[in-house]
Amino acid sequence: MLFLHCIGKLPMRVSEFFLSTLKEAPAEAELPSHKLMLRAGLIRRLSSGLYSWMPLGLRVLRKVEAIVRDEMNRAGAIELLMPAIQPAELWQETRRWQKYGPELLRLKDRHDREYCFGPTHEEVITDIVRRELRSYRQLPVNFYQIQGKFRDETRPRFGVMRSREFIMKDAYSFHPDTASLEATYKRMHEAYTRIFTRLSLQFRSVAADTGSIGGTGSHEFHVLAECGEDAIAYCPQSDFAANIELAEAIAVPPPVQTPPEPLEKIATPQTRSIDEVSRFFNVASHQIVKTLIVENGQGDFIALLLRGDHELNEVKAAKLPQLGDDFRLANEDSIRTLTGSPPGSIGPIGLTIPIIADRSIALMENFITGANEEGFHYRHASFSRDLTKITLADIRNVKEGDPSPDQKGLLSLCRGIEVGHIFQLGTRYSETMNATFLDETGQSKPLVMGCYGIGISRIVGAAVEQCHDEKGISWPLSMAPFTVTICPIGFRKNETVRVAAEQLYLDLSALGIEVLLDDRDERPGVMFADMELIGIPLRLTLGERHLGHGQVELLSRGETASELIALQDAPGIIQSRLST
RNA sequence: CGGGGUAUGGCGCAGCCUGGUAGCGCGCUUCGUUCGGGACGAAGAGGCCGCAGGUUCAAAUCCUGCUACCCCGACCA
């Protein structure tokens, strides 16, 4: 019976494996994928954001891992493994010990030395490389690992999709120059595309913000799903796609344009929100200008202007030199002191603090805005006539229907689960950590770096989110824990059925097919429901009824009608089904 | 970090308001009958009612404190 010895290819009997399915989902789960992963016995929660991978779930995790590893190797990356625990000194070198904040889990050893549980490994790999890499002859090189990481998330949720401990593939490449980095970056982009294609997931690669890791160019890979935590803007008429955090908003004129009229101050009691102002004046929200007062890290106040129907993009705002990444909304007291008015009646006219307006504001005439006096608003305000010394910037989120930045159509929005992120880091880490090499002319230069991450455990959750129905999970072949299940009816009682099932089990195993034989003494309904819940792609049902004619039933997960095939043809038919 | 909620057997829940020997469904064990879509009957096992303190003759139930977990928010004038 032992035809195959490599891990992950073992055939299995249910009686010798461990299935632990639940009829009802634990109350802690909200999302379909989270509920199903618990019900199918893929994972069990240990504590908030901490999950054990049960035997069945681990098989899926290993499948994903194997595909990622295969494609990374194929793309020329070299696997290594770094410690999960990292000394504080390394993080102090890059200042991230201070900057990373409470998400970084800090620990002390018995000698009171400080460490962190690695949320990422730029520092460690750069330290390795500065000791090992000397010459341009050794470049470029791309190291990767598949490893557990820990980020102390503000709010872990969605099971394995936003857990605190998770499995990640992270790769770091080192180059003599930017051109070499760009070549590897492109290769990684292609490898990622192959990975998600092989996993049979609906995904999209989008231009992204570089966030706290820093650097120049960056793409995220998103599995498309309603529950996704990121909004993606894309243009159906072109290949433009970007995270909404980054997508450039083109200044658009308001839909209605009217000739200028004189400025008027109007009493507007009890109107504080854009909605209320819009109702009071009976105008659309795009004819209103809202004013946000923010305070930067130095304690300076700045006013931000947005059209009433637009939202502030905090990522864009944080990049403005006047604000910086630690800006926040001013509190009510500060607003009253600065404007003489409570929030709800503030506006740009007469303000003495610096004003930054979204670019769309420059196209507005006859708009309504707060008068900096409680219960009063201006109407017929004009950008060109009434506002002075204003800085224009792109500080808003794009909206559905906005022009695409590439001018090739209109933007649509969708949501995605971020499962991969690639960055061109440049020399940010190599310079601060002094990781250099000697070029052809004998000159010492900082290494140019790239880094490339994939959330292995998150992919499993995202896949369930995308591939399930009312009966349970429906795995793509590439990540199914088993590819085919044999459900013999009356296995323990019917000699004919048992002999046929055992033979089929051996034949399929011999072909290297991952088969799960349900040899439990269960009624068919129980077997079927379990196999559907855990999402095995193919099911062979053996019963006395059809075996009498030498036939078995073949059913694909997700389909309702099974087909009758000859018992002796079954292994061949399954094999050909798997290769197409 | 702010707001809300929950905590009773492996899972899902009732009981709490109005204190008095802890219950239901699923699952589990044994026996019997069943046997192609989550069987039926009978008999069982399993619970410091999250933790600590208080009130009381008596606390799952009332009071105080703590802890854990979940949800919403942390984007707007």
Structural domain contains residue A76: yes
pLDDT at position A378 is: 93
% of chain A at pLDDT higher than 90: 72
Encode A178-227 in three state secondary structure: HHHHHHHHHHHHHHHHHHHHHCCCCEEEEECCCHHHCCCCEEEEEEECCC
pLDDT at position A215 is: 59
Nucleotides of B under 7 A from a protein CB: 1, 6, 11-13, 25-27, 35-39, 68-77
Tokens of A298: 């130095």
pLDDT at position A9 is: 58
Cβ within 7 Å of strand B: which of A 127-186? 154-158
The DSSP H or E segment spanning A72 is helix A55-74
Structural domain contains residue A200: yes
pLDDT tens, position by position, A117-166: 999 999 999 999 999 999 999 999 999 999 999 999 888 989 999 999 99
Contacts of A343 (CB under 8 A, 6+ apart): A272, A293, A332, A335
Domain match, A304 and A441 both:
no
A327 has pLDDT over 90:
no
Domain match, A66 and A124 both:
yes
- Please provide residue A375's backbone torsions phi and psi, each rounded to the nearest 5 degrees: 80, 15
Give just the sign of the alpha carbon dihedral A565, A567, A570, A573.
Answer: negative
% of chain A at pLDDT higher than 70: 97
C1’ B15 / CA A49, Å: 32
pLDDT at position A4 is: 45
pLDDT at position A350 is: 87
pLDDT at position A260 is: 85
- Return the CATH number at A307: 3.90.960.10
| Structural domain boundaries, residue A103 | 32-247+413-464
Domain match, A377 and A425 both:
no
A521-536 mean pLDDT = 96
A482 has pLDDT over 60:
yes
A279 has pLDDT over 90:
no
- Return the CATH number at A506: 3.40.50.800
Q: Is the CB of A25 under 7 A from strand B?
A: yes
A443-471 mean pLDDT = 96
- ipTM beyond cut 0.90: yes
- Please provide residue A485's backbone torsions phi and psi, each rounded to the nearest 5 degrees: -120, 140
Count of the separate structural domains present in chain A = 3
Give the residue carrying structure tokens 């009312």: A470
Q: Which of A319, A388, A307 is nearest to A355 (CA)?
A: A388
pLDDT at position A174 is: 97
pLDDT tens, position by position, A342-386: 888 889 998 889 999 999 998 888 999 999 988 899 999 998 888
CB-neighbour burial class of residue A155 (10 A; exposed 0-12, middle 13-18, buried 19+): exposed
* Cβ atoms of residues A59 and A481 within 8 Å: yes
pLDDT tens, position by position, A545-578: 999 999 999 999 999 999 999 999 999 999 999 9
A388-410 mean pLDDT = 91
A264 has pLDDT over 60:
yes
A106 has pLDDT over 60:
yes
pLDDT at position A212 is: 56
Considering only CA atoms, which residue is closest to the C1' of nucleotide B70?
Answer: A28
Lowest mean pLDDT segment, chosen from A98-107, A183-192, A197-206: A98-107
Domain match, A141 and A220 both:
yes
Domain match, A167 and A292 both:
no
A291: Cα separation from own chain's centroid = 32
Domain match, A152 and A276 both:
no
pLDDT at position A118 is: 95
A2 has pLDDT over 60:
no
Average pLDDT in chain A = 91
Q: Is the CB of A471 under 7 A from strand B?
A: yes
Structural domain contains residue A135: yes
Domain match, A268 and A210 both:
no
Domain match, A384 and A418 both:
no
Nucleotide at minimal C1' distance from the A271 CA: B77
* Cβ atoms of residues A248 and A394 within 8 Å: yes
Domain match, A449 and A518 both:
no
Reported as a pLDDT band with limits 50, 70 and 90, residue A201 is: very high
Q: Is the CB of A292 under 7 A from strand B?
A: yes
Structural domain contains residue A402: no
pLDDT at position A213 is: 59
A254 has pLDDT over 80:
no
Domain match, A212 and A330 both:
no
Tokens of A278: 């819009």
Tokens of A170: 């992270």
Cβ within 7 Å of strand B: which of A 36-55? 45, 47-49
pLDDT at position A426 is: 93
Domain match, A196 and A102 both:
yes
Q: Which of A331, A362, A393 is the last residue of a domain?
A: A393
Domain match, A191 and A43 both:
yes
Q: Is the CB of A318 under 7 A from strand B?
A: no
A100: Cα separation from own chain's centroid = 20
CA dist A292 and A313 (Å) reads 12
- Return the CATH number at A163: 3.30.930.10
Structural domain contains residue A383: yes
A487-502 mean pLDDT = 95
C1’ B4 / CA A153, Å: 21
Cβ within 7 Å of strand B: which of A 181-210? none
CA dist A486 and A385 (Å) reads 78
Structural domain contains residue A27: no
Structural domain contains residue A178: yes
Structural domain contains residue A213: yes
